[in-house]
Structure 1
Amino acid sequence: MASGAPRVFVSHLAGIAVFDPNGDQVGRVRDLVAMLRVGNRPPRLLGMVVEVVSRRRIFLPMTRVTGVESGQVITTGVVNMRRFEQRPTERLVLGELLDRRVRLVDTGEEVTVLDVSIVQLPARRDWEIDKVFVRKGKGGALRRRGETLTVEWSAVSGFSLEEHGQGAESLLATFEQLRPADLANALHHLTPKRRAEVAAALDDDRLADVLEELPDDDQVEILGKLKEERAADVLEAMDPDDAADLLSELPEEDKERLLMLMKPDDAADVRRLLAYEERTAGGLMTTEPIVLRPDATVADALARVRQQDLSPALAAQVYVCRPPDETPTGKYLGTVHFQRLLREPPFTLVSSVVESDLPPLSPGTPLPAVTSYLAAYNMVSAPVVDASGSLLGAVTVDDVLDHLLPDDWRETEFHEPPQTPGTPRGEAVRGH
């Protein structure tokens, strides 16, 4: 950023791309790192937390930033791939400063921090936080009606204090467009205090989606900090198989108490899944595949497949069964794949195009056999049928992968970048 250029508000930097001088993307900005200073001196901006392609979070010093403009950050091209670790003297600007309640020095009035701006010092590569955008009032239902104003950093006090009950509205706004897996990754890197505050601010459906993407320890921690009634609501919003996996991590008395608070139908699905061994088709399956009766038409099937909340794996095929058409169903008749549905006239009955030659899985089928089944038949989802011929659910490839990958895969990168023999991990390398 050239000297004298306008200030930049940090909320505008969240998620923007970082490029090297050749135009190759290094990653995306996930946060900024600042160091508070004695007295009312503006904090020095140390650098940016950048998430590279492999989901590793690295530290990009501001001395390596040559431009912040047009919705992008330009670096010198040399990036240290060592994983970012926050030091005790450092503060994450998006994660820890936004939504904090501070006071105006002149009046003592309490205000909420909505944003802060950064500026580059003249003739240097140093940056600092210079302005604070705040809203008056204590929040609540009328919070948005409060007066907003931009003040100098020195005009507020309270940033150096540990705050209980810090809000999360502005932080969530910066993450609004993230997919659940990416928001979960961001949540995982917050402090436990901040993680609980953000989780409390999410609605039930969004929190359910995010919980499904978090490591087990984070899931248990967050669920344990929710009120029991809300925890039960969130479990109801989760896919039954994911809710069962989470509940299986809890002590027996806590698990039973939450099941009793859930709606009976939702709790029944989860109890059925908990009855199976974890690494079997029964333990892996979801109880909510697309089930149709034989007299349903292709048009009916396509309407079900188009439902927005279905995962791609579940939307890839429909299962034709005799009534009842909720699991456990009546007699399972076979499967119709999405491609076949697209080739048939809308008025065609699904019973006339059903594929019944592929044997279903039994609930006791072990994980290696489930994996082989999906691979051998090029399937992304497979039916699970009991001895009486009733459809119990479907195993999808994403749930199989969850159990094939290492236990800590959510806490690491999608993949490690290749290492040159003799090159220590963390050595400076060219932009990713």
Structure 2
Amino acid sequence: MTAIVASNIHSVPAAPPQRSKSRLRVGADWLLAGTHPEPDDIRNELLHQRASKTKTLAVAIFASLLAATIAAALTGAAWAYAWMAAELVLGSIRVYLMMADVAKAKAAQRTGTTIAPIWAGLTSTILITVGCYQCVGSGVLPLILMAGIGIANLVGGISSRNAGTPRYGALLICILTLPFGVATILSPIPYLFLVGLQTPLYTAGMIFLLLENHKGLLNLHRSEHRNRQMAHHDLLTGLPNRAMNQKLFAELLATPEPTSPNSKLTVFCLDLDGFKAVNDGLGHATGDAVLVEVSRRLRASVREVDFACRLGGDEFVILLPDISSDAAISIARRIIAAVSTPFEFAPAAKIGVSIGIAAATRDGNTADELLSAADRAMYEAKRRGKGGFVIHAPDVEAVSLVPEVDAHHAGFAEAVA
């Protein structure tokens, strides 16, 4: 079945990861999953939303390092100096990963989400919460206040920066707040346990805020997704429309020439035979149903790398990259047979299809040249009796090719100028 949207024309499968890495990837994928399954483009936008919050991350890294430094200065304890050293190392790593994410986003290389920043963020959160726990245990009131304020600030940033990944954000919030709450409950300082009793309520409130932020962000990306669909796809059939057809043309023609004798791009222009009679005689509702079913049959008749587009009315274009002449002819035959099959919902509808075929670079090097050549060939197919296909190839002799369709549809291919 043909893909409807093309972001990457050719994808190269990655090498299989090692066993240990695959477990990390599975864990990261679960943490980064949203509340509901979403299309890939929405999910990618939600994931990369984290990378756009660079200022929030930079402030968090600086604040945690400052807290560790103050703890070392006030206590002189080994744990505080160890915390400060770990913050320096981990903070440097997170800055490097942040810069790499920004560079990747600027280059529009959104091919996936690396797991390194995810586990680095989780490790940093654990380090901070251990340091803040020690601050409470030190009994130094300024350190306890600093730890509480720092955790509150970090949790606020998490509810914003990780709005696209609510599971991951909720986990970070729990790791930051709950151990701090336990430490205050266990502290001998009078009345400090009251802070610990309120901590679960604060944690729940910030998680609810995170989910609200996620809901708003998700609705925004869903609206953008619908707008893109409406702009680039036919509302009736779901096929790429004329605008998307031009984009696909540009992407496919920009690919390198194949090393095989295949054509870099073969173009089918299709026009339904008998559709006007169905529309006029059986009504527009039946005509629309026929178009939807024909679109489904077209997608089922071509390869996964091919693209079926509806330009308007009963006119369709199919783009077939890197394909041999024989394979293209086989697909044309399959389309003719599929389209001419009777419709269960409208047995009286007699529909066929005429196809014109052009190939780059034999018949042109631009979208306009290829469409014009395929369109001329399609009209020649209609002139010859409909229900067949014509190959636009002025430098070869006319050849008769008869697809195995029903007796009412004779197929053919003929070179036309």
TM range (shorter): under 0.3
TM-score w.r.t. length of structure 1: 0.24
- Rg larger for: 2
TM-score w.r.t. length of structure 2: 0.25
Greater per-residue helix proportion: 2
Greater per-residue strand proportion: 1
